[in-house]
Structure 1
């Protein structure tokens, strides 16, 4: 009987090993396609030991998939599509097969506004939340069992302006970011210098509820853009596009309390064009991308693990033009930056102790890269 049980366990182990999917890390790249249908989304396998990128597949007949997000289970990709096109804007759904590497279009829905720039998903993929930059609105889409999108069930327009008459003539929502507990959504509004806070209830057809008492009013002319949470602490950070600053907040039940603003650029300029912001998986370092002529850097900050206060460690050239977006791989060992104007992706090795970056030998040419997302499959 004991021999039979041992043989059964051994056979079961062989079956599981034979049919389990090898672990792989996948990089998804969203791009601008010059307003014409094209491949749009590019998929690479990332070597987490060397930093090398190997082409896997790409999309087809996609127009300006400028921002991507991955569903919680990794099976679906949602993209802002038809961006920066007059009187047009959509959100598209794709199925991703992690074994074959294929990307299959499911459907797309009107975004409810012009120039969708940011999408995110709820905890169990019940809803996809989209930001329309030019028309200053947020739309919520419920999903179907196959990952496809229903028409938006909620469309929330915003009003407001601020002191920069060229860039802040009206509301411009630039991100839709869930709190770690998925009870709140934060909408940085570059146009009105606010971070709007909404309560979220996935059981309702219209899941977003305004909570104006929680809205944060930023410094005039700052232009809040992207927003991120610390992986383990009740602290959040916002990159301000127009001021070149990073703001830090204590967060409790959706309420933001400012604790710091720190300059992100390497030198003073007349104008600023900050873009993206991310924290290393261990929570020790924060990175921000700084665009503009003679800048194009990543700023590197250490994070005080008690207070959340940032201290500048240094700056790293992105070795390209217009670092619109970047991503830190799940191991934390590498950082990849997308230089939109110079059409290249640069892979940097991270020093886990200092946070500093060193260029690897990996550089990939991609036309107009604007968004990077990564995920490990097969775990």
Structure 2
């Protein structure tokens, strides 16, 4: 019996250390927040702020000026490069090197986006191609990426010829609004506000023309709804689509390039009759809640709970964005805070997320920055 007691006594410090030692798998709590803007006001380009996930605090790091209307940004998978649209009538796409530790951004080069008013840019994980959606011309372009992060001229441009929706003012022709790869990167999906379609293209990175129509080349939504942005669930079984003109969120089952709509849920409060425009949507890191922003006379973030079996949504909360026209928002990777970019009031607000209920509440933290319209997080290495 004495031997057993002695062994326990000797091992006790080891057990205590094992229980209290730092968790090496714990993710970072400090991030860089990249802010894309329109430069028609006080902003001159892309700003970088350090974000502290322990308390939701933001601190200025750097800015790169002389970048015209970088209204949408994307980061390479290794966080070394940034790609930004230059949303102008003769659109361009710019590439930058990025140093996460300091937040420094350096211009590399730019190329034509092969269309007018590009509003979305994405890049594949292997850093082979960049995909651009040109809103006004309704085109999607593929630009190869070089080893140094620079862009080459477009190798493919696609356009939905002759198609249009029922709204004569806004759907006179195609208006590509997003070009996003499926989680396995076998397909590129692009939302077309002008034709009420989500187009599906097979993606083969090594081909001379890497995109071709999938076996089911598109899915249509309600006429006049105006598809805008789409996001996949973490389990890859569902996709969520926000419509700008209809102010709805659509839920799809997703399987190998095929979408099947199963639910439509409104962004609007009962009996609301004012002007609205759905904007962005994002899932919480744990996939339990979906958030969507609505603009014009609403200016709010809507919270939905996600059924983990079916993917369907249930309304939870309606939270004011604290400003005008919440064009975009971002959820920090720890899931504790949401950052909201209010384009028309030149403000960014930090909201706290209740991880149990998904509900949002103001923290009192805010930034003043000209025309913020895109937010992206990167680990501060």
**TM-score normalised per structure 1:** 0.90
Paired residues of 1:228 and 1:236 also in contact (CA < 8 A): yes
Counterpart mapping for 1:250-265 below 5 A: 250-265=253-268
Q: Which residue pairs with 1:375 in the alignment?
A: 378
Paired residues of 2:247 and 2:294 also in contact (CA < 8 A): yes
Give the Cα separation in 1 of the matches to 2:191 and 2:258.
14
Give the Cα separation in 2 of the matches to 1:35 and 1:358.
29
Give the Cα separation in 1 of the matches to 2:196 and 2:78.
34
Q: Which residue pairs with 1:221 in the alignment?
A: 224
1:289 aligns with 2:293: yes
SS class of match (2:178): coil
Pair 186,333 (structure 1): closer, same or farther in 2 beyond 3 Å = same
Count of paired positions? 352
SS class of match (1:211): strand
CA shift, 1:164, in A, is: 0.9
Give the Cα separation in 2 of the matches to 1:320 and 1:99.
31
SS class of match (2:216): helix
CA shift, 1:35, in A, is: 8.3
Give the Cα separation in 2 of the matches to 1:64 and 1:222.
27
Larger radius of gyration: 2
Q: Choose from 113, 124, 136 the match for 2:126.
A: 124
Unaligned runs of 5+ in 1: 1-21
Pair 241,47 (structure 1): closer, same or farther in 2 beyond 3 Å = same
1:182 aligns with 2:185: yes
Q: Choose from 44, 53, 56 the match for 2:58.
A: 53
Unaligned runs of 5+ in 2: 1-27
Paired residues of 1:139 and 1:156 also in contact (CA < 8 A): yes
Q: Choose from 89, 93, 96 the match for 2:95.
A: 93
Give the Cα separation in 2 of the matches to 1:205 and 1:90.
22
Give the Cα separation in 2 of the matches to 1:44 and 1:377.
10
SS class of match (1:181): coil
Give the Cα separation in 1 of the matches to 2:65 and 2:79.
20
Q: Which residue pairs with 2:34 in the alignment?
A: 28
**Where has structure 1 moved over 3 Å in runs of 4 or more?**
none
After TM superposition, the structure 1 stretch with the greater mean CA deviation from structure 2, 154-163 or 341-350, is 154-163
CA shift, 1:60, in A, is: 1.7
RMSD across aligned positions (CA):
1.4
Give the Cα separation in 2 of the matches to 1:349 and 1:210.
42
Give the Cα separation in 2 of the matches to 1:219 and 1:234.
22
Give the Cα separation in 1 of the matches to 2:200 and 2:208.
19
Q: Which residue pairs with 2:67 in the alignment?
A: 62
Give the Cα separation in 2 of the matches to 1:131 and 1:180.
19
Q: Which residue pairs with 1:346 in the alignment?
A: 349
Paired residues of 2:343 and 2:373 also in contact (CA < 8 A): yes
Counterpart mapping for 1:33-182 below 5 A: 33-34=39-40, 39-81=44-86, 83=87, 85-86=88-89, 88-159=90-161, 160-182=163-185
Counterpart mapping for 1:234-245 below 5 A: 234-245=237-248
Q: Which residue pairs with 2:207 in the alignment?
A: 204
SS class of match (1:220): coil
CA shift, 1:270, in A, is: 5.1
Pair 270,360 (structure 1): closer, same or farther in 2 beyond 3 Å = closer
